[in-house]
Structure 1
Amino acid sequence: MRHLPRTLYGQLLLTLLTSVLLANVIGIGLVLTDRERLTRTLRAEYVAQHLADMINLLDETAAANRPKLASALSSPSAQVLLDHPWVERNSGWPEASKLCQLIRTDLNFPYRMQVLSFREDTPDAVEDLLRPFLAPGQHVFTPGKQFWVQALPSKLGEGEAEFKIQMATVQVRLRDGMVATFRIGQIASAVETPWRVTAWLLLVALVVAAVSAWAVRRLTRPLAVFSQAATGLAANLDQPPLPETGTQEVVNSTRAFNRMQKELQRYLQTRSQMLAGVSHDLRLPITRIRLRLEQLGESPARQAIERDLEEMDQLIGDTLAYLRMGQRSESCVLLNVDAMLEGVIEDVEALGAEVVYRSEPVKPLCARPQALRRCIANLLENARRYGSGPIEVRLREREGRLEIQVRDHGPGIAEKDLDRVFEPYVRLEDSRARHTGGSGLGLAIARAIAREHHGDIQLFNHPMGGLCAEMGFPVERSKCVPLNTI
């Protein structure tokens, strides 16, 4: 089952093609069966009519002239004998009565008649069957009279001598008491592949398959477009609305999707206005407090208030930055990640951190510089604040993905918290450093930025100690365009 197609187009097409092929196979079987049945029926009717004509002619001919007539009527495929006695024998052929009925249909008089044998076999077996009716030294198939038997191997192919013969032996008692014995033999139809019928049915199957593929593609194409639009909605809420085409169900789904997109755009616009108002309303009191602090003299209380104001300002800034994720005002450019990392590392080293940087040649990344810089800076700041010893930064490219690793030498974090630390306002100070940390939004903002660039961030405890943050971004892009159009 795992090898079956997973797309709706593939499953529908496979179902239709399987049905068409199965129907054609069954159709070919029925056609061949009916063809063989019709051939046997026509052959039996021909034999019966031929025998009836010879019987009527012999009965109407004078007894003295019958031997000459019998010799004239004999042919390579039919023998007429007048010197054999009546043989009382039950026919071994279960349908002998049917052949008798077919013969009697064209007879002029209800003669007494019996079918001694009717079978399909090889020439030798047929001759053995008819041995009681043959004179000493006489053969059923002689080169002189049965020339069609000798010509048969050239029809069937060299080396294929085991052909089949349909042989019927019929005795009739004429009205004057004379017994006429008829031995009718025909070559059974060779088993031939019905190329015309097979080719026709295969042509029908191909036409139906092509039409089915076109129809299924036409019906599922809007769904594929709908799926792509739904996948890209998180990356670009301002993408153009979907065309409302296709079946009624697809049109209804597309219309609902476009309506949902408009509602989300309206919601984000409202949220942007609220964020602008909140930013103004929160920072204005902080500014007034700072102005009033300037009027006070230096004291421990003033310094404590200033630290609280700085913390509040940082918390407000981080919260607003997190809430603004998804509102892209920065365009994408081809970015030299190596140079950008060196600049971020210099800023961290200015704060007293020791950084060991190792890089490999990588392709330029299509990204928003300021956003990506903030993402990496948040990771380095976490490593500086909670780790110990040098911070190891590594840049490399593997299988079409650009990878950036940031490792500290701190105590690490519990396995159960590796994903939880990406949630907003989550801080694990009890399991890491004892001093006060940041706002709890650094990792959440970093992951949001990475995912906007079609990448992600994963945390894991390094086997040699410390916590390792690994970022991965796809770098295979035909051209650098804004990510909200990809």
Structure 2
Amino acid sequence: MRRLAQYASRLRLWPDTLYGRLVLILAAGMFAGQLLTSTIWFETHDNRTLEIPARLFGSRLADTVRLVEHAPDAATREAIVATLGDDRYRLQWIEGAPQPVPVTLSLAQRATAELIAGVIRKRLGEPIGVHLISAQVRDDEQRRTGVLSLFDSRMPTGVFHVQVEVPGQGWLDIRANEGQAGMHTERGALVLDYLLRIYLIRFAAICLIAFVAVRFALAPLRRFAAAAESLGRNIYRAPLPQAGPREVRNAAQSFNAMQQQLIESFAARTRFLSAVSHDLRSPLTRLRLRTEMLPDPAWRERLRGDLEEMEGMVRATLDAVQGVEITEPRQRIDLASMLEGLAADACEQGHRASVTGSVRAPVPGFARNLKRCLQNLFDNAIRYGGEAAVSVSDEGRGVRVVIGDRGPGIADDAMRERVFEPYFRIAPRAADAPGGTGLGLTIARSVAAAHGGTLVLRNRVVDGRIAGLDAELYLPRDD
């Protein structure tokens, strides 16, 4: 089965989705079963093809027996036999005992013998001896093709060899070719009817049922996929409902247990870092006091800078953990007002910041985390590029925010990805500008991912030269 799937995959026949594979397996299985059982249809139509000639032949036999039986003398009987015979209906008297019925007759031939005997008995009003030697279906050219004559013959013919008793006179051996009495079958009409009504309609019905049934059966799997994707953005999402079949309930219970364990793990990590931060403040405070008591001003200034850097790193680490952790409900956010507020705050602090563009409708998300993300992007643009020029565009299915600066940019493509790594820093443009902790972009990209969005950095090129760096944030509307 695995080798067959690999071979089908090379031929691009094996679907890439579980939904498509299940539909293909069900449809192919049902179609194969139809092919294997189609012989029943062929045999039935073969028998029906012989039924009409057998009835006509039985009626003709009954008339023959009646005429011969009531002939006044032997000469008249011979004349009747000679008159009735032709190329398609040959009669001759049997000398001695008739030939016994062959034991090799099939069930269909035995049924034909009973049909002929029944027609004769009904026409004559009494039973007579009828021995069917053979009964076959042949095509227009009198070839014995079996069920294939259903497809390439306009008027399949029944070929009969019968020995019938004439009461009080003896036995007649009769060989006859009996057609459909003018009922012609067009070439290929039966096979087209079979393919259309049996195969095509049934195959379409099977595919329709398979599409609906498989889609219904895979609904829990789609819910699990959606829940797993949502869990990556918001670990505090609502638990999965434990409903449906037992296997689905067990899987939902395991998923909810995993979610609860992750929540407890993150809470424990936050508590640990908070405890470490709290415990470090006491020795840092003592070190700061001892630093101020140093007699040498140079050493005092050096140690003071080191202590400030340590305190900043402790605060930044704790802020990083709290910044990417989603602890608030999802809500609709007026993104334009949030950007304008951040730009106004930056201007009040003496920096250059502007916002252009508009947002037609609120964006779903987590307000506190999203503001933290945008604030970090504002800070980076001002620190490394001297200003924050924001352009926002509403694309219907999402909103794109570009925060640009006029700095030197980042020429190295690999470097533009490395700046998202924790504690990786690039020196600010101004020598006297304060440097960051290297966690701002890390937090920003994590928040973007929690909203199902993306954050990338691109150089803005004007006249072939780098004129600044653009931080492009895309937030989808998934509600």
Contact kept in structure 2, 1:363 and 1:475, CA below 8 Å: no
1:347 and 1:298, CA in 2 relative to 1: closer, same or farther beyond 3 A? farther
| SS of match in other structure, 2:437 | coil
Cα separation, 1, equivalents of 2:236 and 2:361? 29
Q: 1:222 aligns with which of 217, 220, 227?
A: 220
Is 1:410 the equivalent of 2:419? no
TM-score, normalised to structure 1's length? 0.66
The answer for the alignment partner of 1:236 in structure 2 is: 234
Cα deviation, residue 25, structure 1 = 5.7
String of CA shifts for 1:7-27, please: whole Å, max 9, x gaps: 434432342134324534664
1:339 and 1:310, CA in 2 relative to 1: closer, same or farther beyond 3 A? farther
Cα separation, 2, equivalents of 1:3 and 1:412? 48
Contact kept in structure 1, 2:56 and 2:178, CA below 8 Å: no
Cα deviation, residue 450, structure 1 = 1.8
String of CA shifts for 1:17-58, please: whole Å, max 9, x gaps: 34324534664x434421332134435644665565566556
String of CA shifts for 1:145-174, please: whole Å, max 9, x gaps: xxxxxxxxxxxxxxxxx96474979999x9
The answer for the alignment partner of 2:334 in structure 1 is: 336
Is 1:258 the equivalent of 2:246? no
1:253 and 1:434, CA in 2 relative to 1: closer, same or farther beyond 3 A? farther
Contact kept in structure 2, 1:406 and 1:470, CA below 8 Å: yes
Contact kept in structure 1, 2:234 and 2:326, CA below 8 Å: no
Q: 1:12 aligns with which of 13, 16, 22?
A: 22
Cα deviation, residue 473, structure 1 = 0.7
**Residue type matched to 1:470 in 2?**
E
**Residue type matched to 1:392 in 2?**
A
**Residue type matched to 2:179 in 1?**
Q
1:64 and 1:165, CA in 2 relative to 1: closer, same or farther beyond 3 A? farther
In structure 2, list runs of 5 or more residues that go unmatched. 1-8, 93-108, 118-127, 143-152
1:3 and 1:412, CA in 2 relative to 1: closer, same or farther beyond 3 A? farther
The answer for the alignment partner of 1:280 in structure 2 is: 278
| SS of match in other structure, 1:418 | helix
The answer for the alignment partner of 1:397 in structure 2 is: 394
1:446-465 aligned within 5 A? 446-464=444-462, 465=466
Q: 2:179 aligns with which of 161, 176, 186?
A: 186
**Residue type matched to 2:22 in 1?**
L
Q: How many residues align?
A: 413
Higher relative contact order (CA 8 A, sep 6+): 1
207-216 or 221-230: which moved more? 207-216
Cα separation, 1, equivalents of 2:383 and 2:455? 19
The answer for the alignment partner of 1:146 in structure 2 is: none
| SS of match in other structure, 1:393 | strand
Contact kept in structure 1, 2:398 and 2:475, CA below 8 Å: yes
The answer for the alignment partner of 1:129 in structure 2 is: none
Cα deviation, residue 72, structure 1 = 10
Cα deviation, residue 356, structure 1 = 4.6
Q: 2:76 aligns with which of 65, 74, 78?
A: 65
The answer for the alignment partner of 1:86 in structure 2 is: none
1:476 and 1:34, CA in 2 relative to 1: closer, same or farther beyond 3 A? same
405-414 or 18-27: which moved more? 18-27
1:72-91 aligned within 5 A? none
32-41 or 270-279: which moved more? 32-41
Cα deviation, residue 260, structure 1 = 2.4
Q: 2:44 aligns with which of 31, 35, 48?
A: 35
Cα deviation, residue 301, structure 1 = 4.7
1:406 and 1:297, CA in 2 relative to 1: closer, same or farther beyond 3 A? farther
**Residue type matched to 2:361 in 1?**
K
String of CA shifts for 1:429-481, please: whole Å, max 9, x gaps: 49x7777731111100111122222222111222331221100112364xxxx
Cα separation, 2, equivalents of 1:220 and 1:267? 31
1:387 and 1:197, CA in 2 relative to 1: closer, same or farther beyond 3 A? closer
1:4 and 1:342, CA in 2 relative to 1: closer, same or farther beyond 3 A? farther
1:151-170 aligned within 5 A? 164=155, 166=157
Cα separation, 1, equivalents of 2:34 and 2:300? 92
Cα separation, 1, equivalents of 2:287 and 2:392? 45
The answer for the alignment partner of 2:309 in structure 1 is: 311
Percent identical among aligned pairs is 29
Cα separation, 2, equivalents of 1:339 and 1:281? 39
**Residue type matched to 1:462 in 2?**
R
**Residue type matched to 1:17 in 2?**
A
265-274 or 54-63: which moved more? 54-63
Cα separation, 1, equivalents of 2:91 and 2:40? 40
**Residue type matched to 1:313 in 2?**
E
The answer for the alignment partner of 2:352 in structure 1 is: 354
Cα separation, 1, equivalents of 2:161 and 2:283? 124
Cα separation, 2, equivalents of 1:226 and 1:169? 69
**Residue type matched to 2:51 in 1?**
L
Cα separation, 2, equivalents of 1:168 and 1:406? 92
1:180 and 1:318, CA in 2 relative to 1: closer, same or farther beyond 3 A? closer
